[in-house]
Structure 1
């Protein structure tokens, strides 16, 4: 009796053929199958891999009766509708669910983590919506979570970084509508290697706990054998794939998570300064903070991130000089500092010499030196930070004006007061002038009031 069938990576086409009820493992991936998925019950099924075809139905509820199901990969099809509300409830061994690149809608079923055995959940690039699924709190064995390119909204819960999902290695929530601040707890996940929160509506500052986002002390012990195989792409021929933006390009990565350490917080509404604690991430390879509202200077201790390969800080409000320590990053091969308010000479030497593209620095009018065409002169000022000769002279001019006004007031005051105290005739004439002026003003005001009363009286008589 047929129990295992692998026809992957061929050119089979047409509808899904009838399957024997005793089938345990089925791999038809990378073909041209189309039409609906089978709704027949397959109680012995443990591995179902139908990725990269053209199936266009809903995910069948009959899968809930496959009680031994461990691996479900229906990614890269045209599946639509909502996920079965029973998925995961009766599958005690369900380890992996990959439904990326479909047209699924609705929310994530509460049942998906009912048995707490799930290690990978990839729902990237669908039309799922709602708040962050609270049912994922029960997924205590979850290692890879990708909810990117959907319509999830609301705040990112703090429990992600607490005991609930303490085993996470990859957390991708990019291209959704999440709002609020970044919970500091998320940045303290001990196993986390890839964090992608880009293209959302997150606001506030970058938590200083980002310095604790460190896998340098990561102990590989404690992982199950299945998880270690999954990391290396050896889990029953399944290859874990995730879409990441690295070095300015969107790429699909597979089987390299042990080699890639990345933080992407780009395209949000983050503000404030880049925390100095960023320098503690010496093992980080990719850092993307572009297209936010970050201000202040680039921390000098960025030079401590000795394994950094890609740094993207474009389209912020960063100011000050570019730290010389940046030239010490020997692995750096992608840099973008464009469209900020940076000023002063561009550092030279070491690794920066291998990045001659002037577009790296475009949109910073106060930068100078190669590779851009603007030369640095001895009179060049650092915009907003340096006090060159021009700024200094302007300060002296303003100071001289203030001193002159004060001295003029003091001189005039004592010239009049001194004359009144010393000269009796001047004092008599001064007060006589004041009395005469007062009398004239009093008489003028009294006459004006008398004329006004007379006119008002005539007006009242004419009205009566």
Structure 2
């Protein structure tokens, strides 16, 4: 019998129907109604049921033997009274309703579910309070209540009566919570995510030394980082960014956990020097200290972070020369030093083995002087995968723009504005087909603007402030004498002497490893950053279970 065209199937109140849900049902992809109400089915609901994309009604409210209910990530909609929903499911241990279009109703005075859950996922369920059926859920391993509308203070019964031994995974992010308490009560905690709330007061620090991921970004927390953070020696991700935290950075941050991969403290009010405590053997992939009040020099101990991919020290008060020694970091892909007090001539490297994987460099809004850094450009030109973004704007740089910049065949953004550059814009730049942002405004450039391809997409703002420039998109027309080939600056001739086309053949756009980020650059131009640094800790024992639960919640 061919049932592939079937749109409604009811097996309700069929007491002869026992065992697991029939697997063949997942092939009925035109079903809009499927009912098991009043049957005696048991076991798990297969995750493949989510392939029934036409399903509008799914009824199984009396599956008394059901152990795991996984319906996360579908388009289920409507209002669901969670207490009535759970009333007849006496064996349920895993409940995953996250990321649907459901609105859950909860009773704040009734606990109708005596059995202990191990996993609950109610992300994006339009909750406005902590569901009271969690009361006395002492064996809960993983709980996701993120992306709801839960406001105010975390209730005392949740802190004292839920999962008394602790959590593998607790996610309360993207809510409206204001108070959590300064010391968290759980002795065991692997992952804690409180980010994107409205938490005030001091940092709510976990007491569990087992914590590997502590995320409290985008809140309103104040005060200093307590010294006790140094006891969290199993951290692999620490994100305190975008709060109102102040004080000096604890010296232990660079060496308290050899497992630490991600360190994000940007967007606070930290002051003083960056600690010189980054020790050998560190596994750091990402450091972001931008948007603070940090002073002094770039610590030389960063040279020990040989696995570092992303370093952002921008928007601080650091006073230093260009730290060319960072070029020894073999995996560094993003270097942002903008809006500080870096100064002097960008000195030539001693060897052309520096910054071998650099994709983005932003040195803008500093006080660098002298000619464009020819030897560095020459080395960056020889990089394996190609520079995507070069920003040297708002400095005091001089000299000509090198024609061999046209060999950067994958560059997307080139900003040399607000310097003292002279000469003509090399016609070779007109051949760059990947260039989306180009700005040479407010310099001393002369002659015709290259025409065609990407240059036809740039507005006059890219060229304003150069009285000697002519041609579209400016209103000033070029006379015949302005169309002669530009003279090449002898110093700039070797800036990009290496053969980029040979090196870049086979490059696949958007690869790199990935971290948490789309938060620094505009999303369209830097989508590959969102794929960067998707890092997970090495798992063992209990933590392996966390990974499976999180995918199902």
TM-score of the superposed pair, with normalisation by structure 2: 0.52
Q: Name the structure 1 match of 2:71.
A: none
Q: Is the 8 A contact 2:188 2:211 kept in 1?
A: yes
Find the counterpart in structure 1 of residue 97 from structure 2.
none
Residue 366 (structure 1) shift:
3.8
1:210 aligns with 2:377: yes
CA separation in 2, counterparts of 1:379 and 1:216? 38
8 A contact 1:101–1:125 mirrored in 2: yes
SS at match of 1:153: coil
CA shift for structure 1 position 125: 0.7
Contact between 2:321 and 2:343, CA under 8 Å: does it hold in 1?
A: yes
- Structure 2, unpaired ranges of 5+: 1-164, 488-553
The aligned counterpart of 2:474 is 372
2:417 to 305, 310, 314: 314
Q: 1:213 to 1:25 in 2, by over 3 A?
A: same
Which position in structure 2 is the counterpart of 1:70?
236
CA apart distance, 1:40: 6.4
Q: Distance in 2 between matches of 1:203 and 1:366?
A: 22
Going from structure 1 to structure 2, the CA distance change for 1:324 and 1:7 (only over 3 Å counts) comes to same
Q: Does residue 1:93 correspond to 2:259, yes or no?
A: yes
CA distance in 1, matches of 2:450, 2:205: 64
- Secondary structure at 1:29 match in 2: coil
Matched, 1:144 2:248: no
CA contact (8 A) 1:76 1:100 kept: yes
Are residues 311 and 31 of structure 1, via their aligned partners in 2, closer, same or farther at CA, if it must alter by over 3 Å? same
Is the 1:345–1:376 contact (alpha carbons within 8 Å) kept by the matching residues of 2?
Answer: yes
Equivalent in the alignment of 1:180: 344
Q: Is the 8 A contact 1:157 1:183 kept in 2?
A: no
- Shift of the 326–16 alpha-carbon distance from structure 1 to 2, 3 Å rule, reads same
For 2:335, the equivalent position in structure 1 comes to 171
Q: Distance in 1 between matches of 2:211 and 2:225?
A: 15
CA spacing shift, 1:114–1:62, aligned 2, 3 Å: farther
Q: Deviations over 1:134-182 (max 9, x none)?
A: 22232222221111111111223443223xx222111211111122332
Equivalent positions of 1:27-426 (< 5 A) are 27-38=193-204, 41-113=207-279, 115-162=281-328, 165-185=329-349, 188-205=354-371, 206-214=373-381, 217-218=384-385, 261-270=388-397, 294-296=398-400, 298-355=401-458, 357-377=459-479
Aligned mates of 1:179, 1:71 — CA distance in 2: 33
1:40-70 CA distance string (max 9 Å, x none): 6322211111111111021111111122222
- Structure whose alpha-carbon radius of gyration is higher: 1
The structure carrying a bigger helix percent of its residues is 1
The answer as to whether partners of 1:341 and 1:364 remain within 8 angstroms in 2 is yes
- 1:3-59 deviation digits (Å, cap 9, x = unpaired): 221111112222436331212221111111111124663222111111111110211
SS of 1:160's partner is helix
Q: 2 CA distance for matches of 1:208 and 1:215?
A: 11
Q: Distance in 2 between matches of 1:380 and 1:260?
A: 31
Aligned position for 2:497: none
**Structure of greater relative contact order (alpha carbons < 8 Å, 6+ residues apart):** 2
TM-score of the two chains, using structure 1 as the length reference:
0.61
CA–CA distance in structure 2, aligned partners of residues 99 and 141 of structure 1: 19
CA separation of 1:341 and 1:122: change in aligned 2, threshold 3 A: closer
Unaligned runs of 5+ in 1: 219-258, 271-293, 386-464
The Cα of 1:364 is off from its aligned counterpart by: 3.5
- How far residue 82 of structure 1 moved from its aligned partner, in angstroms, is 1.3
2:166 pairs with 1:2 = yes
In the aligned structure 2, how far is the partner of 1:379 from the partner of 1:130? 50
RMSD: 3.0
Mapped to 2, the partners of 1:377 and 1:332 lie a distance apart of 27
Structure 1 pair 103/330, CA: closer, same or farther in 2 (3 Å)? Answer: same
Classify the secondary structure of the residue corresponding to 1:13.
strand
3-state SS in 2 of match to 1:353? helix
- Measured in 2, the distance between the counterparts of 1:138 and 1:381 equals 51
Distance in 1 between residues matched to 2:206 and 2:449, nearest whole Å: 66
Tell me, in whole angstroms, the C-alpha distance in 2 between the residues paired with 1:88 and 1:314. Answer: 36
Instruction: Specify the alignment match of 2:535 in structure 1.
Output: none
